[in-house]
Amino acid sequence: MSNPQLIMYDEEFKQINAVIEKLLREANAKVIFLVDKNGQLITGCGETERFDTTSLASLTAGNIAATGGLAKLIGEKEFSILFHEGEKDNLHISIVAGRVILVVLFDTRSSLGLVRLRVKKASEELSAIFGRLLQKSEEKEKSGDSEFPFAEITDDDIDNLFS
Amino acid sequence: MSFINYASREINCKIVYYGPGLCGKTTNLQFVYQKTAPEAKGKMISLATETERTLFFDFLPLALGEIRGFKTRFHLYTVPGQVFYDASRKLILKGVDGVVFVADSQEERMDANIESVENLRINLAEQGYDLDKIPYVVQYNKRDLPNVVSVEELRRELNPTNVPDFEACATTGEGVFETLKAIAKQILFDLKKGK
């Protein structure tokens, strides 16, 4: 399969949050999200409570998928950066480590140039963390050391979800 | 693929409703949306044309509850059913954990159903998935209409591998939750096996 399952652990989760919080400050951004290419929100910081983050994540991934499809049609591998300009707020969307999407929402207190510059640096840091994360879950899988929470799941557990 | 977050103790899974145009994929999601408690659902998003035909996808996030201390979330997507939206359908299948095929039971839609199942198999294969190996259920929708094909025949044509299948009428909601439950169950059991 093209993308192995994404598994997030505490340690890396903290590191990732530290990177995007720094990016939020340095880029003067309002909100930052990290989204899985499949549309699942990984984490976010800033004024997240003002937004419907789940919908935002799903639409961002749809957006990246659609522009990725466009890119292939013209012979590009992907468009790694998208920028949407609004009247007040703007969105800077970029692909990190080939599989996660970094979304930066900013207004006139920042600028596209500043955001691009800071995103570039943060992307490198995030790539390294996601690289380690992937390695870690592969190692855990190999050694059979999966503390997988669903190993003991029963029919009743699932039925209860729908009751 | 599902996303497991040990830090926030969450598991997210993606379910895609597939099927020919006007078979009732969006109606399935709308019924689930109407009948789910407000705290368990997010906003339903429909990227549709002015005539309410799905253009890109519908999206409905459901947070059903906890299993073993993990919040279990399902993200429900539909694809645009019309033949010429094939490029969009492929994109939506990315990262899918389970597929619901919604068939239109009406006699005149039989060919469209068959074409759509074949299209599903091809598009999944392009993403590296095998329809016979991923969680998969079939729903025979529109059972309330007068000109429907018998379930036996639908089964023969559309469900040769005998996956769980359900009769439904998505407008009244009959069979809708049974279908969702069946696919959710398969996905969670697959997770259990550590696939």
Query: CA B104, CA B30: separation in Å to the nearest integer?
Result: 17
**For helices B110-126 and B151-158, what crossing angle results, to 10°?**
30
Which chain B residues contact residue A150 at CB under 8 A? 11, 67-68, 70, 188, 191-192
Q: What percent of chain A has pLDDT over 90?
A: 65
pLDDT at B147: 95
CATH code of residue B91 = 3.40.50.300
Phi and psi dihedrals of A153, rounded to 5?
-65, 145
Distance from chain centroid for Cα B91: 15
pLDDT at B183: 96
Return the residue matching tokens 């692909």: A95
A3 or A156, higher pLDDT? A156
Which fold, A10-161? Beta-Lactamase (3.30.450)
| Contact (CB<8Å) B45/A36 | no
> CB-side exposure of B86: number of CA atoms within 13 Å?
13
| Contact (CB<8Å) A62/B57 | yes
pLDDT at A82: 95
Which chain A residues contact residue B68 at CB under 8 A? 149-150, 152-153, 157
pLDDT band at A1 (very low <50, low <70, confident <90, very high): very low
Which chain A residues contact residue B8 at CB under 8 A? 8, 13
Lowest mean pLDDT, pick from A96-100, B30-34, B96-100 = A96-100
Out of A7, A149, A160, name the one closest to residue B69 (CB).
Answer: A149
Q: Which residues contact B187 (CB under 8 A, 6 or more apart)?
A: B2, B13, B15, B74, B97, B98, B135
**Is pLDDT above 50 for A2?**
no
How far from each other are the two terminal CA atoms of chain B, in whole angstroms? 10
**Is pLDDT above 90 for B4?**
no
How close B176 comes to chain A (CA, Å)? 12
pLDDT digits (tens, 9 = 90+) for B99-138: 999 999 999 999 999 999 999 999 999 999 999 999 999 9
pLDDT at A137: 81
Q: Are A106 and A29 in contact (CB under 8 A)?
A: yes
| Contact (CB<8Å) A62/B56 | yes
Which chain A residues contact residue B129 at CB under 8 A? 1
Instruction: State which residues form the domain around B163.
Output: 3-192
| Contact (CB<8Å) B68/A68 | no
State the total domains in chain B: 1
How high is the mean pLDDT of chain A? 89
Spans of all domains in chain A: 10-161
Tell me whether A37 touches chain B (CB under 8 Å): yes
pLDDT band at A83 (very low <50, low <70, confident <90, very high): very high
Tell me whether A63 touches chain B (CB under 8 Å): no
How far from each other are the two terminal CA atoms of chain A, in whole angstroms? 34
The mean per-residue pLDDT over the stretch A63-81 comes to 92
pLDDT at A146: 57
